[in-house]
Chains A and B, each alone.
Chain A
Amino acid sequence: MIILFISSGLFLGWTLGANDAANVFGSAVGSRMLSFTRAAVIASVFVILGAVVQGSGASDTLGRLGSVNAIGGAFTVALAAGVTVYFMTRAGLPVSTTQAIVGAIVGWNFFTDNAIDTKSLVQIVTTWITGPVLGAVFAYALYHLVRITRKRIKIHLLLYESYIRTGLMIAGAFGAFSLGANNIANVMGVFVPSVSLGDANFGLFTLTGAQQLFFLGGIAIAAGILTYSKKVMQTVGANLLELTSEAAFVVVLSQALVLFIFSSSSLSGLMVRIGLPAIPLVPVSSTQVVVGAVIGIGLYKGVRNINMKVLGSIASGWITTPVAAGLLSFILLFFVKNLFGIDVGHSVSPSVGITGELNVAQIIKYSIIILLVITAIYLVYLLLAEKKKTDSLNKKYY
Chain B
Amino acid sequence: MSLFTRTTKELTVKIDEFFDTVEIGILIFKEGVKAYVNGDHDAFQNHLTRIDELENKADKLQRSIENDMMVHSILPQQRSEIVKLLWQLDEILDTSKSTLNEFYIEMPHIPHSLAQDFTSLAEVSGNAAEELMPAARAFFREPYAVREKLIKVYFFERETDKAAFQMKKKVFHEMNDLSLAEKAHIRYITHHIESISDTAQDAADLLASMAIRLML
- Chain A interface (Cβ < 8 Å from any Cβ of B): 31-33, 151, 154-159, 161-163, 165-166, 169, 244-245, 301
Contact = CB atoms under 8 A, between A and B. Distances in A.
Interface in B201-216: 214, 216
A163 B2 contact: yes
B9 interface: yes
Interface string B71-92: 0011111100000000000000
8 contacts: A31-B77, A32-B76, A156-B140, A156-B141, A158-B75, A159-B12, A161-B75, A162-B2
Contact of A154 (B2, B7, B142, B216): B142
Contacts, number: 56
Among A31, A155, A158, A165, the most chain B Cβ lie within 10 Å of the Cβ of A158
Contacts of A155: 141
Contact of A158 (B73, B74, B77, B216): B74
B11 interface: yes
A297 to B, nearest CB: 11
A367 to B, nearest CB: 39
B77 A162 contact: no
B156 interface: no
**Interface size range on B against A:** 20 to 34
B144 A151 contact: yes
What 10 pairs between A and B have smallest CB-CB spacing? A162-B4, A162-B8, A162-B2, A157-B140, A166-B2, A32-B76, A158-B8, A32-B73, A154-B142, A158-B12
Contact of B74 (A161, A163, A169, A244): A161
B3 interface: yes
Nearest to A164: B2
B176 interface: no
Interface of B: 1-5, 7-9, 11-12, 15, 73-78, 139-144, 214, 216
**Majority SS of interface residues in chain A?**
helix
Contacts of A163: 2
A158 B8 CA distance: 6
A245 B140 CA distance: 15
Contacts of B140: 156-158
B177 to A, nearest CB: 55
B76 A166 contact: no
Contacts of A245: 77
Contacts of A154: 141-142
Nearest to B4: A162
A157 B141 contact: yes
A217 to B, nearest CB: 31
Given A151-B144, A154-B141, A166-B3, A159 B8 contact: yes
Contacts of A151: 142, 144
B89 to A, nearest CB: 16
Contacts of A166: 1-4
A155 B2 CA distance: 14
A244 B77 contact: yes
Contacts of B143: 157
B10 to A, nearest CB: 10
Nearest to A155: B141
A362 to B, nearest CB: 44
A159 B74 CA distance: 10
A33 B143 CA distance: 21
Nearest to A30: B76
